[in-house]
């Protein structure tokens, strides 16, 4: 049976892609951020996952405001990217695990999550930058199942809904008959606001509260409405929905193995975490 070995949270700011392309990992501005991935590289080399389920939000490459599903899941053998206009190189394609995707889709719909199914899906920097950060070599030794959450056009799903989506996917992964080692990734955040009179807003105190609570008590965070979240974390801080879904999949004893929090990367509070998922506790019902 498939096993969820743990979770990774990663910021996905486009400027990171440019820094990678220009080999600025050791520049004083970037080094405190990139150093946070040293442990990620060690942990991935040791745990060697076969598949990554990646919760992220599209920024207008595959979906636009005219048609924007709340939840969408890829079901392809390969995911391409394209020029998004950020000045970062177009990413190499990423192989998919379509069989696992369809297993998750069947389980989600049976669990009353009516997701949009995408057999052809472009993935943007919210997937490709975390991939380049986690596996900086010339080959990505892993397949992905991308799960897209609307964090762009209101109304957005609640934090509770996102956590429950993650729990449903976690149960589905663990019911998959193949002996796969699965890592679950949530990308985006933490606090940031790119528009309006609060452009540049960052809330370190709230970010640290989130990083503390999501490990052992994610339910506490579901008490915040989306509007509360925008107030506390900025209009783009709602990308934390992707982190909540990632956390929801981890149904064992979850411990934080690594955390790096750095302000700022571009206009964003950057965070990188690794969570271990030891199966031994009873799973909460979604
Ligand atoms: Fe984003």
**Average pLDDT of adjacent 10-residue blocks, the chain of 286 residues:** 97 96 96 98 98 98 96 98 91 97 98 97 98 95 98 98 98 98 97 95 97 98 98 98 98 96 95 92 50
125 is catalytic: yes
Q: Is 3 exposed, middle or buried (0-12, 13-18, 19+ CB in 10 A)?
A: middle
CA 12 to ligand 1 centroid distance, Å? 6
CA 1 to ligand 1 centroid distance, Å? 33
| pTM for this predicted structure | 0.96
**Annotated catalytic residue within 12, 59, 103, 192:** 192
Instruction: Give the whole-angstrom CA distance, residue 112 versus residue 65.
Output: 25
CA 27 to ligand 1 centroid distance, Å? 23
Total residues belonging to the chain: 286
CA 123 to ligand 1 centroid distance, Å? 12
CA 236 to ligand 1 centroid distance, Å? 7
Cβ 185 vs Cβ 7: under 8 Å: yes
Q: Is 285 exposed, middle or buried (0-12, 13-18, 19+ CB in 10 A)?
A: exposed
CA 177 to ligand 1 centroid distance, Å? 34
Q: Is 167 exposed, middle or buried (0-12, 13-18, 19+ CB in 10 A)?
A: buried
Enumerate the β-bridge partners of residue 96: 144
pLDDT, position 279: 82
pLDDT, position 282: 45
**Count of other CB atoms within 10 angstroms of residue 23:** 9
Instruction: Give the whole-angstrom CA distance, residue 142 versus residue 161.
Output: 28
**Annotated catalytic residue within 59, 125, 154, 262:** 125
């Amino acid at each position: 049976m498939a096993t969820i070995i743990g979770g990774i949270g990663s910021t996905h700011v486009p400027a990171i892609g440019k820094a990678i392309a220009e080999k600025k990992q050791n520049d004083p501005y970037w080094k405190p951020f990139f150093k946070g991935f040293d442990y990620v590289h060690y942990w991935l080399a040791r745990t060697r996952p076969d598949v990554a389920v990646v919760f992220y939000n599209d920024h207008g490459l595959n979906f636009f405001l005219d048609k924007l599903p709340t939840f969408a899941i890829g079901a392809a053998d390969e995911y391409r990217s394209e020029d998004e206009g950020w000045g970062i190189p177009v990413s190499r394609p990423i192989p998919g695990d379509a069989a696992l995707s369809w297993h998750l889709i069947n389980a989600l719909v049976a669990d009353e999550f009516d997701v949009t199914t995408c057999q052809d899906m472009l993935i943007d920097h919210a997937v490709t930058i975390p991939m380049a950060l986690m596996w900086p070599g010339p080959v990505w030794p892993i397949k992905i199942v991308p799960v897209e959450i609307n964090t762009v056009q209101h109304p957005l799903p609640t934090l509770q809904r996102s956590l429950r989506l993650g729990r449903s996917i976690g149960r589905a992964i663990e019911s998959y008959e193949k002996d796969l080692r699965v890592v679950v990734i949530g990308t985006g955040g933490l606090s940031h606001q790119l528009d309006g009179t609060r452009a540049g807003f960052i809330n370190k105190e709230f970010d640290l509260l989130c990083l503390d609570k999501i490990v052992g008590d994610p339910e506490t965070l579901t008490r915040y409405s989306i509007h509360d979240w925008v107030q506390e974390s900025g209009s783009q801080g709602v990308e934390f929905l992707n982190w909540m879904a990632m956390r929801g999949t981890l149904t064992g004893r979850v411990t934080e193995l690594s955390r790096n929090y750095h302000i700022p990367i571009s206009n964003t509070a950057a965070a990188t975490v690794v969570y271990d998922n030891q199966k031994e506790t009873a799973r909460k019902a979604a």
